[in-house]
Amino acid sequence: MRRTPEVRRLGGLVIALTLIVAACSPTGSAPKETSTTTSETTAQPGETTTQPTTTTTQPVEIVLLTHDAFAVSDNVLADFTSQTGINVKLLRSDDAGTMLNQTILTKDNPIADVMFGIDNTFLSRALSEGIFDPYESPGLATVPKALQLDPEHYVTPIDFGDVCINYDKAAFTGDVPVPTSLLDLTDPAYRDMLVVEDPATSSPGLAFLLATIAEFGEEGDYTWKDFWADLAANGVKVDSGWTEAYYSDFSAASDGIRPLVVSYASSPPAEVIFSETPLTSAPTGVITDGCFRQIEFAGILAGTEHPDAARKLIDFMLSKEFQEDIPLNMFVFPANSQAELPPEFIEFTTLPEHPESLDPALIEQNRERWIEEWTEILRK
Amino acid sequence: MRTPARLRERVGGVILVVLPLVFLGYFFAYPLGAILSKSLLQAGRVDLTPFADVFRRGTLRNAIWFTVWQATASMLLTLVVALPTAYVFARYRFPGKNLLRAAITVPFVLPTVVVGTAFLALLGPTGLIDLSGTVWLILIAHVFFNYAIVVRTVGGFWANLDPRLEEAARMLGAGRWRTFRTVTLPLLRPALAAAGSIVFLFTFTSFGVILILGGLRFATIEVEIWRQTISYLQLPIASALAVIQLVGVTSILFAYSRYQQRRMIELPLRPAQEVSRTPRTLRDRAIVGITLGFTGLFLGTPLAVLIERSLRTDAGFGLAAYRSLATPTSALFVPPVEAIRNSILFAFAATVIAVTVGMAAAAIVAYRTGLLSRAFDVLLMLPLGTSAVTIGFGFLVALGRPVDLRTSPVLIPIAHALVAIPFVVRTAVPVMRSVKEKLREAAAMLGAPPSRVWRRIDLPMVFRAGLVGAGFAFAISLGEFGATSFIARPATPTLPIAIFRLLGRPGTLDQALALATVLMVLTALSILLIERFRFGELGDF
C-alpha cells in the first residue's frame, strides 16, 4: 500500500521526463503535468525553499541515507512516525565506502538529512571532510564509552559487530584442536584450512587485516607482515569477498574444504536462525582472539533543513525499541547496553572480551599503503 | 530523401536529432563531464599530474596493460570458440532453433555476481578442476558472457551469405578448409570485426568477473577506478583512469567504424530460409550434434548448477527456497517477490526510454552519412565503455539542479536505458539501412507521397526492429547491476540488488539462488519474445 503512490509517480515522471527531453509537447496539458510531478517526487529537504518546512497538517519527511545492509522492521519506523509525526524516507547506497564518498561529493547540497552506517574504518575521512553537524544525544548515556570514538559527537554509535574467524565445528572433532590465537594459524597443523577476504575489495577482509596490524604492530621482531608471510606459507586462501569465501570455500556453508573463515561473531546465530531444520546448537563457532570491532555510526548531515527532526531520529535510533530490533535484522549488536539480545545471540555466540582496535585516523592515513603492502606479500 | 519536405516532416526530423542529443547530453555527457572536471580541474586549469601518477605507479600501469591484454585474448577466444555455433545456426535448420538462440543470449544479460558464484562452484577448489586465481577462469567466463554476440552477429550475417560463392570454389577444386580460409572467412570479415569489437569493448571494461574471479593478481582499469574511488577516495586518479579508459574505448569504436565504412561492399545476400538446410547426411548430423552439444554443455552447465542448487534442500529436492520468497526478509526490508515486481516496473520504464531515444538515434545513424553520423554512432556506444561508478557519481554531482533528480527513483530506469540504448541502435540501424531504396523509389513513382512511402514501406520493418530492441532493453534492465548499485536510490531493490544482498549474509544462499533462477527465467522469456519479432536475421545482436 505504502508504495503505490511512489510507483504511480514514477510512471508519471518517466512520461514527463521523456516529454522534457523530447522538447516537444504534443498536447497543451503536458507541461503542467510535468511541473507538478517533478516537484512532488524530487523536492528534497535541502531544496524545499518554496514549501513550508514544518506545518502541523503536513508531517515532516526526513531522508535517511544508509548502506544496502541496513534493515529494520517495518513497524519500528512506523512507531517513530506515529510518536513524532516525522516520516522517514530511506535512501540506499551500495556500501559504507560508496555512501560516504557520495556524501562527500554532495556536501554543498546534501541528498539526505541523516546518514547511518559509517564505520570506524571510514570515520576519520568523514570527520575531516566536515559532512556532519555535532549532536550529543541523551541516549548516549546507555552506550559504553569504548564505542564512543568521537568525543565531539559529530557521529553517534548505533551498533557494533566483531569480525572474527569462524570455524566449522564438524571439522574439529578429531585430534586437531580449534585454534585459539592468531599465531596458531601459522602452525602447520592448520595448513590450507583458512580462507580470508581481500582487504582491497571486502569490508571484513580489511577489518581482519587491521586486526593483525593491531595485534602484531608495524615494528619489532615479528610484525604483521611477518605474520602474513607465515600465513601465506601455511596456505591461506584469499577470496575477493565474504560471499565467495563463505559460500565457496568454508566447509560449514558450502562444498568447500576450508574449516576456517573470516566472518562475523554473529554468523553462528544467523546459521541457526536461517536454518531450514530447527537446530539446538550452531554448526559454526567463533574464535575470539584477533577479532576486529566494527562500530557503525549515524550522523546528522550538515546543511539539513530539519535539524530537530534529524536529532529526534538519532535519539530514536538509540532507543530500546530500535536497538532491540537491530540484531535479528542486521546481525550486529546494539550499542545501547540496556537493549536485550534475542536468545539466539546469547546462546550461540561469544563476544570477544578484548577485540582489537585501531585509531580511525591511523587507519585513514595508512589504509592504501597497508593494502598495497599486504597485496605484495600475498601475491608471491 | 531530397523531396521538398513539408513542415511536419521537418519538425519530425528535428525531433529525431534533438531527442537523443538532449537525452544523452543531459544524462550521459553532462554528468560525466561534471565528475571529470570536478576531479581534474584545479583553479580552472586541467591538472595533468594524476595522469603522470597513473603511469608512474606500477599497479596502475599493470592494470592498463592487463586490460588490453585480457580483452584481446578474450575477444580472440570468444570468436574462435563461438564460430562453429554461428556456422551451425547460419546454415542448418533444426527443431528448437529459436529456443536455443534465446537460451544462448541469457548468459549475456545475467548479473556477474550470480554467474561468478556458479563459476566458482564449477571451476573453483571443489569443482571439476581448480582454475581459481588463474587468468583462464576470467577468459572462460568472458567467453561464456559474450558467446551470444558472436553467434548472433556473425551467424546472422553468415545466414544471408550466398553459398553459391563457396560452391563455386569447391567446384573449382578447393578443399573445405581452403574454401573456408580463402572465400568464406574474407566475406565474413565485416561481421567478425563487428562482433570482435563489441566483445573487446565489453571485456575491456570488465568489472564483476575480474573482481570475483580474478583474485589478487588481476585488475582491469575499471576495477582500479572503483578501488581508487571507493576505497581510497582518490578522485583525480580515478578520473584520469576513466579518461584513459574512454580514450581506449573511443579509439576502438572509431577504428571499427572506419573499417566498416571502407569495407562496405555489396555482397550477394540471400534470404536465410533458402540458404539453410536440414542436416541429412551423417556428416551434417555430426557437425550439428557436436557443436550444439558443446554449446549446451559450455553455456548450460553454470546455469544448471544455479538451478540445481536453488532446488536443493536438507531433505532432497524441493521448492522451499521459492516458497520463502514470499515472506519478508530483513535483508531486503521487503519480501523478495517485491524485488521481482520492482525489476519488472523499472524494466518497462527503461524500455520505453531506451526505445524512444534509441530509435530516433538509429534513424540519424542509418539515414545520414558522413563524419557527423559516424561520430554520433560512436557517442551512442560510449555509455557501455564508461565505468559504472563514474556514471553513478556523475549523476550526484550534476543532477542536483535545476530539478533535483539525484535521489529520484527515475534515475534507475534512466541508467538502465543508457546501457540499453546502444543495443536498440545496433539492432535497428541495419534494418533501417536494409530498406531497399528501389522499393521507396518505386512507391514514389507510383504516386505515393513521402509520408505514405515511409508509413507503408519503412514503418513495418522499423516497427519490428523496435520490438526486438525493446526485448533487449527489457532483458538488460532486468539484469543491470553495476550502475544501479552506484546510484543513491529509494528502498526499491531490483532483482540483481536483492540477489547480491541475499548472497551477502549467512543462511540466505537458497533464497539468493532461487531469485537468480527467477531472474534467469524472466530474462529467457523476454529474449524468447524477441525471436518472435526478429526481422530475418538482421541486427547486430
Contact (CB<8Å) A47/B404:
yes
Q: Which of B232, B397, B408 faces A105 most closely, judged by CB atoms?
A: B397
Chain B residue closest to A110 (CA)? B400
Greatest Cα pair distance, chain A, in angstroms, is: 82
Mean pLDDT, consecutive 10-residue stretches, chain A (380 aa), reads 41 44 36 34 40 55 91 90 94 90 92 95 93 96 94 96 95 92 95 94 93 94 96 94 90 90 93 82 92 96 95 96 92 94 90 91 93 90
Axis-axis angle for helices B459-479, B336-367 (nearest 10) = 140
Find which of A243, A328, A331, A378 to mutate to test the B interface (most B CBs within 10 Å of its CB). Answer: A243
C-alpha cell at A362: 591511523
Residues B242-257 pLDDT 10s: 999 999 999 888 888 7
CA distance A246 to chain B (A): 8
Whether A360 and chain B come into contact, CB under 8 Å, resolves to no
Q: What is the pLDDT of residue B119?
A: 87
C-alpha cell at A41: 517526487
CA distance B46 to chain A (A): 19
Q: What is the pLDDT of residue B200?
A: 92
- Count other Cβ atoms within 10 Å, centred on residue A42: 19
Contact (CB<8Å) A10/B230:
no
More confident residue, A335 or B47: A335
Chain B residue closest to A46 (CA)? B404
Chain B residue closest to A267 (CA)? B506
Residue A141 near residue A337, CB atoms below 8 Å: no
* CB-CB neighbors (< 8 A) of B407 in chain A: 42, 44, 63, 91, 111-112
Q: Which of A92, A258, A270 faces B489 most closely, judged by CB atoms?
A: A92
CA distance A374 to chain B (A): 10
* CB-CB neighbors (< 8 A) of A348 in chain B: none
Contact (CB<8Å) A17/B414:
yes
Arithmetic mean of pLDDT, B493-519: 86
CA distance B497 to chain A (A): 9
Q: Which of residues 222-251 of A touch B (CB under 8 A)?
A: 237-238, 240-244, 246-249
Contact (CB<8Å) B125/A92:
no
Contact (CB<8Å) A91/B407:
yes
pLDDT over 50 at B205, yes or no? yes
CA distance A71 to chain B (A): 6
Question: Which region among A115-119, A251-255, B64-68, B391-395 has the lowest average model confidence (pLDDT)?
Answer: A251-255
Q: What percent of chain B has pLDDT over 90?
A: 28
pLDDT over 60 at B494, yes or no? yes
Question: Which region among A293-297, B12-16, B27-31 has the lowest average model confidence (pLDDT)?
Answer: B12-16
Whether B20 and chain A come into contact, CB under 8 Å, resolves to no
Question: Which region among A5-9, A60-64, B194-198, B526-530 has the lowest average model confidence (pLDDT)?
Answer: A5-9
Arithmetic mean of pLDDT, B131-159: 88
- Reported confidence tier of residue B133, pLDDT bands at 50, 70, 90: confident
E-strand stretches of B6-160: 41-42, 45-46
Arithmetic mean of pLDDT, B495-504: 87
Arithmetic mean of pLDDT, B491-500: 87
CA distance B369 to chain A (A): 23
Whether B309 and chain A come into contact, CB under 8 Å, resolves to no
Whether A18 and chain B come into contact, CB under 8 Å, resolves to yes
Whether B407 and chain A come into contact, CB under 8 Å, resolves to yes
Q: What is the pLDDT of residue A12?
A: 47
Local structure of residue A67 (DSSP, 8 states): E
pLDDT over 70 at B127, yes or no? yes
Whether A200 and chain B come into contact, CB under 8 Å, resolves to yes
pLDDT over 90 at B423, yes or no? no
Contact (CB<8Å) B488/A65:
yes
Cβ-in-10-Å burial (0-12, 13-18, 19+) of A57 comes to exposed
Q: Which DSSP string do the residues of B217-246 spell out, in sequence order?
A: T---HHHHHHIIIIIT--HHHHHHHHHHHH
Q: Which of B232, B389, B506 faces A368 most closely, judged by CB atoms?
A: B232
* CB-CB neighbors (< 8 A) of A275 in chain B: 507
CA angle in degrees (0–180, nearest 5) for A321-A326-A329: 125
Our measurement of the distance from residue B344's CA atom to the centroid of its chain's CA atoms, rounded to an integer in Å, reads 19
Whether B124 and chain A come into contact, CB under 8 Å, resolves to yes
User: Comparing C-alpha atoms, which of B103, B254, B83 is closest to residue B157?
Assistant: B83
Contact (CB<8Å) A71/B332:
yes
Chain B residue closest to A77 (CA)? B333
Arithmetic mean of pLDDT, B182-186: 86
Contact (CB<8Å) B231/A368:
yes
Interface A:B, Cβ pairs < 8 A:
206
Q: Which of A24, A43, A89 faces B490 most closely, judged by CB atoms?
A: A89
In Å, how far are A7, B8, B257, B367, B468 from B11, measured between CA atoms?
33, 5, 29, 16, 27
Contact (CB<8Å) B233/A104:
yes
Local structure of residue A248 (DSSP, 8 states): I
- Reported confidence tier of residue B96, pLDDT bands at 50, 70, 90: confident
Q: What is the pLDDT of residue B16?
A: 78
The set of residues, in sequence order, having a beta carbon less than 8 Å from that of A51 and lying 6+ positions away, is: A43
Chain A residue closest to B329 (CA)? A329
CA distance A156 to chain B (A): 22
Contact (CB<8Å) A18/B353:
yes
Residues B256-309 pLDDT 10s: 877 776 655 556 566 666 677 788 888 889 989 999 999 999 999 988 988 888
* CB-CB neighbors (< 8 A) of A111 in chain B: 396, 406-407, 488
pLDDT over 60 at B4, yes or no? no
Arithmetic mean of pLDDT, B317-321: 84
Q: Which of residues 108-167 of A touch B (CB under 8 A)?
A: 109, 111-112, 125
Q: What is the pLDDT of residue A195?
A: 96
Q: Which of A22, A42, A241 faces B403 most closely, judged by CB atoms?
A: A42
Q: What is the pLDDT of residue A23?
A: 37
* CB-CB neighbors (< 8 A) of B490 in chain A: 6, 89-92
Q: In B264-409, which ranges are continuous DSSP H helix?
A: 272-275, 282-311, 320-323, 336-367, 371-385, 388-398
* CB-CB neighbors (< 8 A) of A104 in chain B: 233
In Å, how far are A369, B28, B483 from B239, measured between CA atoms?
20, 15, 17
CA distance B511 to chain A (A): 11
Chain B residue closest to A122 (CA)? B231
Our measurement of the distance from residue A323's CA atom to the centroid of its chain's CA atoms, rounded to an integer in Å, reads 15
Find which of B24, B119, B231 to mutate to test the A interface (most A CBs within 10 Å of its CB). Answer: B231
Cβ-in-10-Å burial (0-12, 13-18, 19+) of B520 comes to buried
The set of residues, in sequence order, having a beta carbon less than 8 Å from that of B428 and lying 6+ positions away, is: B358, B359, B362, B363, B366, B462, B465, B466, B469, B539
pLDDT over 60 at B536, yes or no? no
CA distance B147 to chain A (A): 25
Whether B504 and chain A come into contact, CB under 8 Å, resolves to yes
Does the model's ipTM exceed the 0.95 cut? no
Q: Which of residues 156-175 of A touch B (CB under 8 A)?
A: none
The set of residues, in sequence order, having a beta carbon less than 8 Å from that of B487 and lying 6+ positions away, is: B392, B395, B411, B412, B415
User: Comparing C-alpha atoms, which of A374, A361, A368 is closest to residue A122?
Assistant: A361
Q: Which DSSP string do the residues of A258-296 spell out, in sequence order?
A: B-EEEEETTHHHHHHHT-SS--SS-SEEEEEEEEEEEEE
Contact (CB<8Å) A13/B233:
no
pLDDT over 70 at B331, yes or no? no
Local structure of residue B161 (DSSP, 8 states): B
Q: What is the pLDDT of residue B7?
A: 63
pLDDT over 90 at B240, yes or no? yes
* CB-CB neighbors (< 8 A) of B352 in chain A: 14, 18
Q: What percent of chain B has pLDDT over 70?
A: 91
* CB-CB neighbors (< 8 A) of B389 in chain A: 98
